[in-house]
Structure 1
């Protein structure tokens, strides 16, 4: 019986090639979208799960409110790990990571350095906690001694070529020389942090034992069966026993008094497998994603697949009249409804299997493009892993059953006598269900259109909003410390070049980087209630004009005032937190040691207008500028029309003054935009799948329009005989569909409004979703629907009525 079903199904599919192609293509596009999004979701959910002990590894987070700053950080004090291991039997091991950003690295004795990113100091227990296989070296001893380093296979190839790196030395920033004691496999891409260099923690020049400094990413390995939520209760004891005494030394008050004043210190564990998608902390080792995107994309995948299945139903019922007599004949010859259902379901499943094959081809062809817009390294091989292979095999069967169930039961229910007499009326039968399917399709399409518009408007708002500084035409030379004592001379040489307006040497620029807050106190009031937790940036006289910042009060640093070495400029937020009514001339103190015994006092000479120095997801915090020699970055405001030529001139000066050091530059505007690449990628992905969803929905609407036009052929013929114009007939046939689209818009609007406002909550500075966004989305949906339906409507309206009425 099954063989007969398949033979007849193949015959019918060949007979109706156009219908078969449209149906298979629609299903294939829907399945391809679903599989692409599945690849994305699988990759997101697999982050950090390659570690053998992943389900027992947790990171210590710090939540601190102090000096007007509410900080939620992914770092904790350096004694945290050793103390937890010593005091609590539930802790099996720990490891600390100290990220040190980008360094210049070269082989010992070589001149040329390579710019290497994400250098990390790590404890010798690194390989006991994480699964990072070594291809050379002993994991138990690799990072025990100071001045040792474990590198990845990629780094080994970059630095040593085909030579054996073991035992050879690398020089970091011309300061630290480390011996290679291990080579590890490259870390997987789906890790919440990645590096090619782990340097022994004992090589880090750090003042250890500071409970009030949070600079280390601390990971603990809990023993089997330990509930991390219950373990979190132990941090209160840690605070009272270890943090409290340093608070007393530092501020002269107890933890209880600190909390009574509205400040806070707390710690908690987060599962390592939750970090990539669920961590909202700052100072991460690498940017994270968001679980919301997984939910959104998963929903989009399901909806697109449902839309494709709905298309199948509509297109199948659109051809029902052509198969009505076939059903009647089969029933007269003895076929029962069960057999007819089996026949139609076989056709549906066969088309679904063919669609799955085409979908896999589409996925294989489009994965490179999808990787570009999603910043992933996905491969189609991930779909054929043993865990997912059963899903891949069952999916076409499920889709075939889902898509073919309604047409099968619908077509098999025809009465043979009515059908063979030509009296079957299919126009109103199940009209409610078909209308509901169209409403659902366009409801999802409108939601996707609105979502895409809001995402792009928010990104445009970010890129065009007034930041408090001028980010365009600012050329930044990174790793200026490679110039050593020639940094100032380099700046002066570049200023002589045509097209260079001004330049500045500074510790930081107003883009995210590894920074930390320090407390400032009103002079003579070393009181935690009066402290302001602030960013402290070392700048020179030209920093504010080079970046185009504006002064709200007072003046900028000036070479005419020798006392400016003890001057400070606050931003408006800092002034507000201090409570200064007249800030000019006020004196503030900065602590220079951890014991609270050495201070330096500064006089406020100016107030700079607030500027955004971090993502617009966050409110503007406190910032203070002070004069200090710094070689973190050198920036130049340029006005040259030939930027490539100017960059070559700057590079030539660099090569002359820093031989062997890589020349690395960027534009401040690009660095700022990079903060929002995740949102840009989401916008591109949503836009792509929105277009595909609309395309698939239009196929379904096309099918339903064909069905309705086919069922009203004689009505249209009668109307034309009685004098109806083609325009009126097109309006008649289009009116019902446009009503369904309008209903879809009414349902989609509040859903989209709620969803997009939830997404915008992540931004401290965001757009208001205007009414016209919903209006534009509605108009787009109506136009698309009208164009789709008009093709069939015009075709029916122009049909010769003689052909439709000759049988009457």
Structure 2
């Protein structure tokens, strides 16, 4: 019986070639999109899921709200981990991760390499994060100073083998070189982890002001004992703050008048499960760039909708072609075939079609995966589909999709009454026609929503690119990791300034982009800091040429000058910081801070900068102060040349003269600026691709329905033409019905698209407006594309000779 069903299904596909091609094409595209997005979503959801005991691992987050500025940090103080382990038995183990030292210069033969995948960790790191060792005892690998654990890739790079135990890495730090003993080799950290380190150094070699309870520079992870509810454990944090943080903070701020409620409002801690960090964290300075759970939801929904649209095409075209199979159903029923057998037959036809479409979809994905990886920034492999989970999905998906696409047509076709069919009284239309129209409206609604979303995303990205952000980001060349210049930094800079293409240059560790190092400290307008007059402010160490090189604008006062020795205790603040100093001109007023010992530092304000966006446009502009201090770790040069490659070669030659053997690397400020919006850019590009595919699938179905409508009305068209109807009138008649459906889809899509995209724009502190023409463009485009799709069939019908049509009838 099954073999007979299969033969019948195959013959039906061959007989209705055009209908089959349209269905298989739509289903193949829908399945290909679904498989690609499933790979993406599965990868995003898999982050850090491989760690044993992952349910027990949490990270300590910090929320700081001082002087009206709220900061949500992924880091905590250096005392947090050891103190919680000491005071609370619920903590099984802790570890801290410190990477504020930046990159490390590691020597190989006579050459140094700038390694950025580095961190300093506690010896307890491997108690919290159980990673597979290739060699060495991880439980004691970082017990002593001067030790390092490396990955297999790092060991092969520097020693040519993973057998690296007992060997030494030479690390350059300014003018000194320190050897580190390799005590263990671990497997490379998986790509689906926030921890992307090749070198783990012992924490004892970090130069830090230990015991600073109010300085938050460490990623602190706790491994709680089994059965401990992390949300219940969070209730101990206010006790920790009052016992340890307030006594330390009393060095800098008058805490005597602060009640418990106000303290908890200023500083609070919380815990975040390890497996939530990648997709659910929106905090500053994550260890590695995170994902966004919203985009996972959006991509999943898009995949589902595209697959549904492909199924809708199948339903529409199958029910539309029902007249061609009505007699077949009638005859089979007369010969004793019951409805159940007919349903099995039509469902099997549907599944066969989906299986064929699945094969084409896998072939499409094989060629599309590299481009999809580039689009999403992933490194997904086609071999993942061979894993048991995905193989099961590939087997079940044709069955599920085949059932979804075929269940309605199966019941619809098997429900024909044989007497009416064989007497010629069977008519197509009625409820099935309304159902098909409803499905067309759904398809185009989704397509229009995606088009509106695409326009809004790209309009916001254009706004970001063209907004006056308060500094010049174009033609600014950045030299990375210039620390090896040491005392030769000024001489190097002066040598470069002799080049006519270089207009100005500056050394600093701080740039107005999110991936630049930055520091927040507390300041006040009075010598005694209180919760009323204190505020948190970013402080950047810069030189005299920083402001002119980056094209920042002074609205009051002056820039730093080499002619004023007193500028060593001066500060240039932005307009936001100026508001905290009270009314009137802030120039000449004083700003007070403290050092690590609690000594009061007094700075006089010499200038006010016009506010500029030094973080992503997701954030408001906070207080900022520029201080005249040495920070020779990054060099920025304003350049003007049409031959950038030649200029960089000349700069490299000068670099090799002043820092022989040291790695030379560079980037451009505008590229770093664009990296802040990489997620949005990728989302916008992905939206374009999926919107185009969704529209193509919808038009594919519309093309099939248009072809069917023309076939059904061939005699009517011939009679109309004989009676004097024009070609234009015939085309309008055939197109009107479908354009009304697209118009209805537009009316439904507009409020839905507005709601979701309005919510998305609220994530930006600075955003474009929601212009009315966005809806008009999306709706107009959908109407024109639909008109073009239907017109092809309509024009073909209108141009046919009515005599030939009526003669055939």
Q: Secondary structure at the match of 1:77?
A: coil
Normalising to structure 1: TM-score of the pair? 0.97
Q: Deviations over 1:225-275 (max 9, x none)?
A: 111111111111111211121122331314844854895111010101001
Corresponding residue number in structure 1 for 2:735 = 734
Q: Greater CA deviation, 196-205 or 93-102?
A: 93-102
User: What residue ranges of structure 2 are gaps of 5+ in the alignment?
Assistant: none
More divergent stretch after superposition (272-281 vs 177-186): 177-186
* Structure 1 unaligned spans of 5+: none
CA change 1:757–1:101 in 2 (3 A) is farther
Q: What is aligned with 2:385?
A: 383
Given that 1:452 and 1:683 are in contact with CA atoms closer than 8 Å, whether structure 2 keeps it comes out as yes
> 1:250 aligns to what SS in structure 2?
coil
Q: Tell me the residue number matched to 1:439.
A: 441
1:562 aligns with 2:561: no
Q: Structure 1 CA distance, aligned partners of 2:97 and 2:404?
A: 51
Equivalent pair of 1:77/1:212 in contact (CA under 8 Å)? yes
Aligned to 2:64: 64
Are 2:238 and 2:264, in contact at CA under 8 Å, matched by a contact in 1?
A: no
Q: Is 1:44 paired with 2:44? A: yes
Stretch moving more, 76-85 or 545-554: 76-85
Question: C-alpha deviations, 1:620-656, integer Å up to 9, x for none?
Answer: 1111112112202111111112111111110000011
- Counterpart Cα distance in 1 of 2:569 and 2:94: 43
**Compared with structure 1, are the counterparts of its residues 171 and 600 closer, same or farther at alpha carbon in structure 2 (3 Å cutoff)?**
farther
Q: Deviations over 1:378-415 (max 9, x none)?
A: 12233332234333211111111111122222222333
- In the other structure, the counterpart of 1:502 is 504
Bigger drift between 351-360 and 612-621 goes to: 351-360
Q: Secondary structure at the match of 2:601?
A: strand
Q: Find the residue that maps to 1:659 and give its secondary structure.
A: coil
C-alpha distance in 2 between matches for 1:780 and 1:204: 60
SS at match of 2:252: helix
Choose which of 585, 590, 598 in structure 2 pairs with 1:587.
590
* Cα separation, partners in 2 of 1:761 and 1:279, compared to 1, 3 Å: same
| Equivalent position of 1:454 in the other structure | 456
d(CA) in 1 for partners of 2:72 and 2:751?
33
Correspondence 1:343 to 2:342: no
How far apart, CA to CA, are the structure 1 residues paired with 2:162 and 2:255?
A: 59
Aligned to 1:188: 190
Stretch moving more, 57-66 or 422-431: 422-431
Structure 2 CA distance for aligned equivalents of residues 285 and 462 of structure 1: 25
1:359 paired to 2:357: no
Aligned twin of 2:683: 682
Find runs of 4+ consecutive structure 1 residues off by over 6 angstroms.
none
Query: Would the aligned equivalents of 2:473 and 2:550 in 1 still touch at CA under 8 Å?
Result: yes
Residues in 1 aligned to 2:705 and 2:430: alpha-carbon distance in whole angstroms: 12
Shift of 1:67: 3.2
Cα shift at 1:465: 0.7
Counterparts of 1:59 and 1:339, CA distance in 2: 59
CA distance in structure 2 between the partners assigned to 1:455 and 1:584 by the alignment? 41
**Cα 1:658–1:166, aligned 2, differ >3 Å: closer, same or farther?**
same
Match of 2:159 in 1: 160
CA contact (8 A) 2:252 2:594 kept: no
- Contact kept, 8 Å, 1:317 with 1:707, in 2: the verdict is no
Could you list the per-position Cα deviations for residues 592-611 of structure 1 after superposition, in whole angstroms to 9, with x for gaps in the alignment? 22x31x23322111101111
Summarize deviations over 1:554-612 as a string: whole Å, max 9, x none. 1111222232222211110100122242211112223122x31x233221111011111
For residues 113 and 234 of structure 1, the distance between their equivalents in structure 2, rounded to whole angstroms, comes to 47
* Residue matched to 1:525: 528
Q: Residue 768 of structure 2 corresponds to which residue in structure 1?
A: 767
Matched, 1:249 2:248: no
Q: Deviations over 1:349-369 (max 9, x none)?
A: 111111112212211221111
Do structure 1's residue 150 and structure 2's residue 180 form an aligned pair? no
For residues 592 and 478 of structure 1, the distance between their equivalents in structure 2, rounded to whole angstroms, comes to: 28
Give the CA deviation at 1:124. 0.7
The corresponding residue for 2:574 is 571
Distance 1:499 1:697 in 2: 54
Contact 2:518–2:540, Cα closer than 8 Å, also in 1: no
Name the counterpart of 2:129. Answer: 130
Deviation at 1:481, TM superposition (A): 0.9
Q: Distance in 1 between matches of 2:412 and 2:558?
A: 81
Q: 1:30 to 1:163 in 2, by over 3 A?
A: closer
Is contact 2:537–2:577 with CA below 8 Å preserved after alignment? yes
Number of the residue aligned with 1:77: 77
Counterpart-to-counterpart distance in 2, 1:113 and 1:534: 36
Q: 1:290 aligns with which of 275, 286, 292?
A: 292
Tell me how far 1:784 sits from its aligned partner: 0.9
The reply to whether residue 24 of structure 1 matches residue 27 of structure 2 is no
Q: 1:488 to 1:205 in 2, by over 3 A?
A: same
Q: Which moved more, 1:329-338 or 1:299-308?
A: 329-338
Whether the 8 Å CA contact 1:102–1:117 is kept in 2: the answer is: yes
- 1:711 shift after superposition: 2.0
Find the counterpart in structure 1 of residue 13 from structure 2: 13
CA separation of 1:797/1:190 partners in 2, compared to 1, >3 Å: closer, same or farther? same
Alpha-carbon distance between aligned partners in 2 of 1:278 and 1:36, rounded to the nearest angstrom = 22
Structure 1 residues 293 and 163 mapped into 2: Cα distance closer, same or farther (>3 Å)? closer
Seen in structure 2, the aligned counterparts of structure 1 residues 250 and 563 have a Cα distance that, compared at 3 Å, is closer
1:515 maps onto 2:518 in alignment: yes
8 Å contact from structure 2 (residues 106, 115) kept in 1: no
Q: Is the 8 A contact 2:527 2:600 kept in 1?
A: no
In structure 1, the residue matched to 2:97 is 97
- Most deviating of 580-589 and 393-402: 580-589
Change in 2 beyond 3 A, CA 1:254/1:278? farther
Contact 2:520 2:536 (C-alpha < 8 Å) held by counterparts: yes
Q: 1:139 to 1:463 in 2, by over 3 A?
A: same
The verdict on how the C-alpha distance between 1:134 and 1:663 changes in structure 2, with shifts beyond 3 A counting, is same
1:630 aligns with 631
Task: Note the 1:555-704 alignment, pairs <5 A.
Answer: 555-593=558-596, 595-596=597-598, 598-704=599-705
Displacement of 1:500:
0.8
Distance 1:227 1:523, change over 3 A: closer
Quick one: structure 1 residues 255 and 706, their matched pair in 2 at CA, closer, same or farther if it must change by over 3 Å?
A: farther
CA–CA separation in structure 2 for the residues paired with 1:251 and 1:79: 20
Q: How far did residue 2 of structure 1 move?
A: 1.2
CA contact (8 A) 1:244 1:255 kept: no
1: CA distance between counterparts of 2:312 and 2:806? 32
Instruction: Please say if 1:799 is aligned against 2:804.
Output: no
Alignment match of 1:471 (pick from 470, 473, 494): 473
- Aligned equivalents of 1:29, 1:277: Cα separation in 2: 28
Aligned-residue CA RMSD in angstroms?
1.8
CA distance in 2, matches of 1:424, 1:801: 26
Q: Does the aligned pair in 1 maintain the 2:22–2:701 contact within 8 Å? A: no
**Distance of aligned partners of 1:106 and 1:248 in 2 relative to their CA distance in 1, 3 Å threshold:** closer
Please say if residues 258 and 528 of structure 1, whose CA atoms lie closer than 8 Å, have aligned partners that are also in contact. no
In structure 2, how many angstroms separate the alpha carbons of the residues matched to 1:319 and 1:737? Answer: 18
Distance 1:147 1:111 in 2: 21
Q: In 2, distance between residues paired with 1:578 and 1:587?
A: 8
Tell me the distance in 1 between the aligned counterparts of 2:246 and 2:600: 22
Indicate conservation of the 8 Å contact 2:98/2:121, yes or no: yes
Q: CA deviation at 1:15?
A: 2.6
Partners in 1 of 2:401 and 2:394 — Cα distance? 11
Matched with 1:393 is 395
3-state SS, counterpart of residue 387 of structure 1 = helix
Moved more, 483-492 or 247-256: 247-256
Q: Does the Cα contact within 8 Å between 1:427 and 1:708 map onto a contact in 2?
A: no
Whole-Å separation in 2 of the counterparts to 1:101 and 1:395:
49
Q: Are the aligned partners of 1:312 and 1:403 in contact in 2 as well (CA < 8 Å)?
A: yes
